[in-house]
Structure 1
Amino acid sequence: MEPFTLNQSEIMLISEWQNLDSYLVAGFTTKNGGVSTAPYQSFNLGLHVNDNKEHVIENRKKLGNLTGFQTTQFICSDQVHDAKVIKVTSLDGGKGVLDYESAIPSTDGIYTDEPNLLLTSCYADCVPLYFYVPRSKIVGLAHAGWKGTVKQIASNMIQNIVENERVRLDEILVTIGPSIRDCCYIVDDFVINEVKNVLSTEDSSVYSEVSTGQYRLNLAILNKLILIRAGVKSENISFSSYCTSCEEDKFFSHRRDKGITGRMMSFIGYRED
């Protein structure tokens, strides 16, 4: 079952999680309903893609209105396609929201156990990973491109939550969000060799050769395998079927749009008034 429900033209929500706790807000933006102009039309949330800065800030304020969070409660990091994971607190509120320079540096995974913070990260094909522990109200996000995936940012997040927050593995829920799928994602031998180094055995569900030295790669499934190997129960992992490259009416795509495009934003947080 698709975990994401289109709530309005601008955002999709992880409805099954929000049904567990109405104070939880978790989802993914679309490219629609904002103020940015071509080639970033229209709901671009990325400050680093040469869009008009004021347009991006207005779009981020709109996301705040849609989610019930002030932009001072957003937390943004400088994503570098690595596997660093850190715990964030209210002291990090507002970082990277109105200017890229103040973002948490060189970090692709963030989590918290504090309310009234909206964790965010930006995407245009990479895999968004959402983490949720209902009992302790821990939430987290990880940005997993192919580099972060093979560096196992997914298992790094699990390790941080289990070891630092006294959480049992069977308590952790994960949702794998919209990303480019193997129907549209072709990579070379270099990338596939890195993938093979992660897999304990070759798994045909992760990649397939389409021509000499060219392979279809399913990063979402690879992340799921890494999560299961890290101890997350398969039944605790939800999986979006949306392809950011195929769904041109909904999403920006770095590969489809040849690198000149906007960014969607993943978000998760608890509201406590």
Structure 2
Amino acid sequence: MTRWIRHKSRYLSWQVSEGVMAIFTIRQGGVSLSPYDTLNISFNVGDLPSAVMENRRRVLADIGHELSQLVMAEQVHHNRVAWATSHEAGAGSIASTTALPGLDGLLTHSDNLVLGMGFADCVPIFIAAPQHHAVGLLHAGWRGTVRGVQRQAIGLLKDDGIDLSQIYIGIGPSIGPCCYEVDERVATEFRAQMGEDAPLVATRAGHYLLDLWEANRQQLMQLGIPDANIDISGWCTACHGDQFFSYRRDHGRTGRMGGFICMSK
């Protein structure tokens, strides 16, 4: 049974623990104009910076936080993950140029930080280890997935002394296996990483439907995360144009939803 709950406001939430607040925004409830209508949270897509700022402010206010507490990663489609501390508060919050460089994953023990990233088909992976007072957020497109951004994050958590059986994973909305067609080049990389277990379904010569949810689930389980601790939202961003932006569906001219996680007050 999924712990993902759809709210009437600006987001879905992952109900993992009373000590953790994890949300994923929908595209409604902001001030951006078409084609970023209305709740775009990215400065990098051509939207008005003032609109992005207001959208971020509204979302953070919904969960009882301020922009000065937000920490954003640069998101370069690779696998680097790092711990964020109070010293990084505000990084990337009001300008993309100040986001933490070269990272696709963030972890923290800090009560005063909100970890955030933008998504428009790539997989948001939320991490919670409430018994160890730790949360994290990963950006896993196909490159990050096959390059092991989840492996890097779990390795850091393990090095921190966190029991893998006490780590919970929320896989949020992204492009689903119904809509994500890839070519032979991408399929080859997944076969090289995952062998016959690579979640690929042939559609036509040299093309396959790829299940990024399953690819990440399998790799997380191989790392030692119990299957019962992994929640997949099941929302496909490409299927639900009224709810989500989709880079693939909208041919690149679109906004970004936001994934945000923090310790709840």
Name the amino acid aligned to 2:175.
I
- The answer as to 2:234 corresponding to 1:254 is no
1:114, 1:236 → 2: CA distance? 23
2:120, 2:9 → 1: CA distance? 17
Please list, as runs of the form range in 1=range in 2, the aligned pairs for 1:1-273 lying within 5 A after superposition: 1-15=1-15, 17=16, 20-21=17-18, 23-163=19-159, 165-199=160-194, 201-203=195-197, 206-272=199-265
Name the amino acid aligned to 2:197.
D
Shift of residue 67 of structure 1? Answer: 1.0
2:259, 2:187 → 1: CA distance? 27
2:174, 2:91 → 1: CA distance? 25
Shift of residue 259 of structure 1? Answer: 0.2
Name the amino acid aligned to 2:131.
R
1:170, 1:144 → 2: CA distance? 22
1:134, 1:270 → 2: CA distance? 9
For structure 1, the residue ranges without an aligned partner over 5 or more in a row are none
**Helix, strand or coil at the partner of 1:255:** coil
**Alignment: residue pair count:** 265
Name the amino acid aligned to 2:106.
I
**Helix, strand or coil at the partner of 2:259:** strand
Query: With structure 2 as the length reference, what TM-score do the two structures score?
Result: 0.98
1:135, 1:25 → 2: CA distance? 14
Measured at CA, do residues 32 and 73 of structure 1 come closer, stay the same or move farther in structure 2, by a change above 3 Å? same
2:127, 2:264 → 1: CA distance? 16
1:3, 1:136 → 2: CA distance? 20
Shift of residue 32 of structure 1? Answer: 0.3
Shift of residue 8 of structure 1? Answer: 2.9
**Helix, strand or coil at the partner of 1:224:** helix
**Helix, strand or coil at the partner of 1:202:** helix
Task: Calculate the aligned-residue CA RMSD, in Å.
Answer: 1.0
Identity of aligned residues (%): 36
Q: Is residue 116–residue 271 contact of structure 1 (8 Å, CA) maintained in 2? A: no
Name the amino acid aligned to 1:238.
D
Q: Is residue 20–residue 130 contact of structure 2 (8 Å, CA) maintained in 1? A: no
- Which contiguous aligned blocks of 4+ residues in structure 1 show a shift greater than 3 angstroms? none
**Helix, strand or coil at the partner of 2:28:** coil
Larger CA deviation: 227-236 vs 31-40? 227-236
For structure 2, the residue ranges without an aligned partner over 5 or more in a row are none
Query: With structure 1 as the length reference, what TM-score do the two structures score?
Result: 0.95
Name the amino acid aligned to 2:104.
D
